[in-house]
Structure 1
Amino acid sequence: MTGTPRHHLFGRGSWPEVSRIANILRAETVGGALLLGAAVLALIWANSPWSSGYQDLLAIEVGPAAWHLDLTLAQWAADGLLAIFFFVAGLELKREFVAGDLRDPRRAALPVAAAVGGMAAPALIYTAVNATAAGGALAGWAVPTATDIAFALAVLAVISTHLPSALRTFLLTLAVVDDLLAILIIAIFYTSSLQVLPLVAALVPLGLFAVLVQRRVHSWWVLLPLAAATWTLVHASGVHATVAGVLLGFMVPVLRRDGEAGPGLAEHFEHRWRPISAGFAVPVFAFFAAGVSVAGAGGLGETLRDPVTIGIVLGLVVGKCVGVLGTTWLVQRFTRATLGNVSWWDVLGVALLAGIGFTVSLLIGELAFGAGSEKDEHARLGILIGSLISALLAMVVLRARNRHYKRIREEEERDSDADGIPDPWDPTPYGPTS
């Protein structure tokens, strides 16, 4: 008697969903290259004889003082430009759980669990390292918990394209859930003072925005002022202004009003704003946030010995890998599901990639320690070192796996006959591999 087929953790998604995710991956990969270039430029400038010019640029104030928006360029990048990034994240989150493959609880279970494990383990490691450290070091417990999807996908693109598409989808959906958890952490743990009146007032433009988008209004001259008003009031409330971007993204409907298939308003906005986020907002933030002096206060040796730096490096390199890989094993063990067409070596490579923390990690570091403080400098250096180590280790593992899948593909092509048509949306339509 035939038993019930076992569920595949890394099964193929639907063709429309895989096509949509492929488009997202291409945009994020280009954004990752720009992000890397901006970070390298900032590092070079901050460690050059002209470093004072970089610091002066960060400190330039722009904006109306009457509205308490006389912010430095660095603050505008962190509070303003990253709101665009989180708006796109909000759109993507809603899209995934309303109309994407993750609306299926079985498909959602793995990336959600992996994201939770991938954030809990780094936080625990950082806390253990800094348990007895002085100077408020424990405030940075959330710094190594975030994954930078743009950087991770840029590394994945360098490795090549023979890896199973299920791995790329898993990495993207894991990072989407990771963003949601990071947003909650910022809103709950890094709101130092809360002004209730501006926060309540923000509900008015937010509500109007929601009503208009529900009626499928997408005129920028109507929606943009409401979005700006929501952002301004949330910023004035003491809650980090990027949360406004997420709330606005959540308001946009995903499904078409006529109930027919096709892109809804959320996907329309995503196509319009993702290039701005990946190609401008995030790279500019990286330029203003990544310019850390390698020597640091007290010299490079003291910076590398600081528990903050050590905790972040270990959290990103060890914690992320252990959290994602271990949680995936637990899900597989207790659901009795199979991996599908990937191996544990593939999962290890993706778990290492998840240790590339940058954009959100830098933001949390500033919120935890104060922008420009000594511990913020140490945190930034830890983020750079941990992300670099994770990227290099991931490349070693995944390049070996890429050669493995390329070899299988070549053998399949040599042995295939006329009716051996490969799956059109999976570059490696093979069974489980070792």
Structure 2
Amino acid sequence: MTALLLCVFAASLIIGVPIAFVMGIASLAVLLADGSFPLLVVPQRMFNGLDSFPLMAVPFFILAADLMTAGRITAALLRFSQALVGHIRGGMGHVNVLISVFFAGISGSALADAAGPSAIAMRMMARAGYPLPYAAALSAATATIGPVIPPSIIMVIYGITEPRVSISQMFMAGILPGLLMGLALAAANFVISRRHGHGGGAARASLRDIAATALKAAPAILVPAIILGGILGGIFTPTEAAAVAVFYAMLIGFLQGTLTLALLPQIFLRSALLTSAVLLIVSTASIFAWLLTVYQVPQSFAAAITALPLGQIGTLLLLALLILICGLFIDTIPAVIVLTPILAPIAFSAGIDPLHFAMVLILNLTIGMVTPPVGPVLFVICTVGKIRIEVLTRAILPFLAVQITVLLAITLIPDLSLTIPRLFGYGG
């Protein structure tokens, strides 16, 4: 039955069936062929996958990001970023990176970043004379910072799947890796821009201009501080923090006059559609992961890996490679739900810190969002930038190399993930 499950999964994926339906079709085919389970188990397992209080954070974070975008908070962040780094060689590229770092603290989603601020920054780069493929590639790469810096929808999903780590711990652990990813992409942009003459020559903003733009962008910049401060201070849970973010986004939008009641139905509808897509994936991935457990795939895989004389570092590198390969073909959220029960026990039995492994998996799968053939961020950027996928794929290779280098550093240096959580009492 395991072979049938994987074959139907692979065949459906190859012919282009959406990933949510891929897992549902494969699971249903196996249940029909096996005959040992009543089909009532399908809705039961799908509902169980959604029956989670922490999962409620997902629609709230999505809605908060949409409210911020509709309330023109993104534009304020762009102006502030341009005032800070617009004068540096490759300045608009640095703006692209910085706006993604800021927006990551609001949305927690690479797709939201790619469709919103990254797309805006890409068009600004193109108008400033940057080649469109380069602008699109940098925008796709910077969008992946969104799920790493807290809050993060992927971290919420992982925290539901693997109880050994809490969502708040992962939020803390993602700060340094996310900032390191931003710095690495900014350095790559500087080197490439200097070599090809991109950007440069813009006047340095005065301190008054920086202060003025910072004041307008302050409401958005405060969002991650409010979320993390409230969680770490014990004021609210990550799910409650997401609800607070929605209230805060609405309050700021109405007070500034950039958000009106007439806009709310459209915003709610857009958020509901994206939320329904995410939750459908979660529900079908839940039954798929349950079947893998029933047929003891995790146990068999763990036995095969642990039989190899790899040691802790070797095991972690092998797992990272397997996750990277899976990320080429499976979307991020279903990959988290399916791979975590299989790979996490192997990592723990090898003595790898649960939080460190969580960050390796999350960062790895996030990079998979900009790798073909699945790469959902690539397709979003292609759509909004009107650029062919093969052109974008070639242009993103230097940034992909930078991201994999950062991934290797996070994998080999646990302190990059664990330092901030330890400061707040996690671990030794």
Larger helix proportion, structure 1 or 2? 2
Larger RCO, structure (CA 8 Å, separation 6 or more): 1
TM-score (norm 1): 0.28
Give TM-score, length-normalised by structure 2: 0.28
